[in-house]
């Protein structure tokens, strides 16, 4: 068994195509998770129990079951219901909704951490609800959320190989098809691992910076 | 209708495999977490360095890549593993790396005075850890360990991709044989959810049991 550099250069272009799909899936999943997570967080705060309870249960359910099974579910069941999604779309929807249940918790914690006094002060100076949210609550709630959100986006990036199971040709799937075709596993699998390290080590460093930068006041 | 009972049996046998992998990997993860976490706060730099490398490596690469590496590449390096061994090894070490950070955080959060009191009582470093620090730190670790265990349970679904016949694998078998997708997948989603509820409630019970009589500040 030895490392074959010529083979490495030969398969690089094909792995590169996989990298692009991996990054696309991560970015689109991130956007969906941010938006759907916010909607979920707001829905769970609703005073209407018929909305907040089922949403809460659905979020718990999604968080307690494997993403892989959810992806299969989307990929195989939606076509039965007449909604044919491309594998990548189904994958992005699965990733985005799964992580939305996590980001919703981050939003919730961020909003709950605003001291009561801020709400009361806003009311005392006669701000409308809209002004309170836009000028008082959101500007204070967002910065502490940033490290936690970033953490989930890195986690999501590391989960994208699951999309290979529903035939998305992302990095892992490209590596697998190369490996099966040439019957050489060492180089493609190791390169995929190195790629993930190459992205996640800088992102961990960035995350530590974000944590320092946006640390809550007084604990800085 | 008769055939469904056979399929349910198939899925339940898969659930047995899922539970087995979860328990074995949890055991490995617990050991890895304590070795890694205590290694990171060791006084000896080679240990610290090794533990950091382990943690960053396993947290930095995807569990999926680690599993495939364990299953396809290790045999070429002369370490043949069964799918079960590869699954437990990858899942255990992966979740262990996340849990190691929890161990480190919890040990660090035990107040300074506790350490000073140990020095004052002339306890050895081992006695200090065993009798004073860890019993207090362990209670702090439990809630996050619970989350890690659920992540692990969810992670076991991917071993179906290295042809281990866990619950997800069996659901695929049922799907191929019956052509019905919704029923097998909904069934296993419900079972997974049930398992994660059992897991989290038993951790919570353990937490209540262990924190009895301890004056811990809840984080």
ipTM of the shown complex: 0.84
CB A21 within 8 Å of CB A164: no
Q: Angle CA(B143)–CA(B97)–CA(A102) in degrees, nearest 5? A: 50
Q: How many other CB atoms are found less than 10 A from the CB of residue A154?
A: 18
- Which pLDDT does position A21 carry in this prediction? 93
| Residue A80 C-alpha, separation from nearest chain B C-alpha, in angstroms | 9
DSSP class of A83: -
Q: Which fold has domain B2-211?
A: MetI-like fold (1.10.3720)
- Which pLDDT does position A205 carry in this prediction? 87
CB B65 within 8 Å of CB A172: yes
Look at chain A and report how many structural domains it folds into: 1
- Which pLDDT does position B37 carry in this prediction? 94
Give the whole-angstrom CA distance, residue B118 versus residue B136: 14
- CB-based contact, A66 to chain B, within 8 Å: yes
User: Which domain covers residue A59, as residue numbers?
Assistant: 21-168
Give the whole-angstrom CA distance, residue B163 versus residue B174: 15
- Helix (H, G, I), strand (E, B), or coil: what is residue B43? coil
| Residue B120 C-alpha, separation from nearest chain A C-alpha, in angstroms | 30
Assign B104 a pLDDT band (cuts: 50, 70, 90): very high
pTM here is: 0.86
CA distances (Å), B209 to each of A219, B136, B139, B205, in order? 32, 13, 10, 6
Q: Who among B61, B155, B175 is closest to A76 (CB)?
A: B175
Please judge whether B60 and A197 are an interchain contact, meaning their C-beta atoms are less than 8 angstroms apart.
yes
Residues from chain A that touch B56, judged by Cβ atoms under 8 A, are: 201, 204
- H-helix segments, B179-215: 182-211
Assign A151 a pLDDT band (cuts: 50, 70, 90): confident
Could you read off the pLDDT of A78-110 as tens digits, one per residue?
888 888 889 999 999 999 999 999 999 999 999
- CB-based contact, A64 to chain B, within 8 Å: yes
Q: How many other CB atoms are found less than 10 A from the CB of residue B9?
A: 11
Rg from Cα positions in chain B: 21
Assign A129 a pLDDT band (cuts: 50, 70, 90): confident
- Which pLDDT does position A65 carry in this prediction? 94
Backbone angles phi, psi at B164, to 5 degrees: -95, 130
Let me know if residue A213 belongs to a domain.
no
Structural domain boundaries of chain B? 2-211
Q: Which of A102, A113, A101 is nearest to A214 (CA)?
A: A113
- Which pLDDT does position A216 carry in this prediction? 62
Give the DSSP H/E element, type plus range, for residue A55: helix A49-64
CB A154 within 8 Å of CB A196: no
Q: Who among B76, B157, B181 is closest to A66 (CB)?
A: B157
Could you read off the pLDDT of B188-208 as tens digits, one per residue?
999 999 999 999 999 999 988
Give the whole-angstrom CA distance, residue B22 versus residue B90: 12
- Which pLDDT does position B219 carry in this prediction? 43
Residue listed under structure tokens 């006041």: A217
Give the whole-angstrom CA distance, residue B47 versus residue B53: 10
Give the whole-angstrom CA distance, residue A216 versus residue B6: 56
Residue of B nearest to A163 (CA): B64
């Amino acid at each position: 068994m030895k490392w074959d550099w010529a083979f490495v250069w030969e398969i690089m272009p094909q792995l590169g195509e996989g990298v692009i799909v991996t990054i696309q899936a991560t970015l689109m999943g991130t956007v969906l998770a941010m938006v759907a997570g916010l909607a979920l967080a707001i829905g769970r705060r609703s005073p209407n129990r018929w909305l907040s309870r089922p949403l809460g249960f659905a979020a718990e359910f999604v968080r307690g079951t494997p993403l892989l099974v959810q992806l299969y579910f989307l990929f195989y069941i939606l076509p039965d219901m007449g909604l044919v999604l491309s594998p990548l779309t189904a994958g992005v929807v699965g990733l985005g909704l799964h992580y939305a249940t996590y980001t919703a918790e981050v939003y919730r914690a961020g909003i709950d951490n605003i001291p009561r006094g801020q709400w009361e002060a806003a009311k005392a100076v006669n701000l409308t609800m809209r002004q309170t949210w836009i000028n008082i609550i959101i500007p204070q709630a967002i910065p502490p959320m940033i490290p936690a959100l970033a953490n989930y986006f890195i986690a999501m990036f590391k989960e994208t190989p699951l999309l290979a199971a529903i035939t998305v040709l992302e990095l892992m799937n490209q590596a697998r098809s190369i490996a099966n075709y040439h019957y050489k596993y060492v180089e493609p699998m190791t390169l995929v691992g190195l790629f993930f390290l190459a992205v996640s080590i800088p992102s961990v460093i960035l995350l530590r910076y974000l944590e320092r930068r946006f640390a809550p006041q007084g604990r800085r | 209708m008769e055939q469904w009972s056979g399929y349910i049996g198939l899925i339940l046998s898969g659930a047995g495999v899922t539970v087995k992998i979860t328990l074995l990997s949890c055991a490995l993860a617990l050991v890895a977490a304590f070795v890694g976490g205590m290694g990171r706060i060791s006084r000896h730099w080679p240990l610290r360095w090794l533990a950091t490398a382990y943690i960053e490596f396993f947290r930095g690469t995807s569990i999926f890549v680690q599993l495939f590496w364990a299953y396809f590449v290790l045999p070429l390096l002369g370490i043949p593993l069964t799918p079960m061994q590869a699954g437990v090894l990858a899942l255990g070490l992966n979740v262990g790396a996340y849990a190691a950070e929890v161990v480190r955080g919890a040990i660090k959060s035990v107040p300074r005075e506790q350490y000073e009191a140990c020095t004052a009582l002339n306890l050895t470093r081992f006695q200090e850890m065993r009798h004073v620090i860890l019993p207090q730190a362990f209670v702090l670790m439990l809630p996050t360990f619970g989350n890690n265990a659920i992540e692990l349970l969810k992670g076991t679904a991917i071993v179906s991709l290295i042809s281990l016949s866990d619950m997800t694998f069996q659901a695929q078998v049922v799907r191929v044989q019956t052509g019905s997708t919704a029923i097998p997948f909904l069934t296993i989603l419900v079972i997974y959810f049930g398992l994660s509820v059992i897991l989290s409630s038993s951790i919570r019970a353990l937490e209540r049991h262990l924190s009895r009589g301890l004056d811990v500040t809840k984080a």
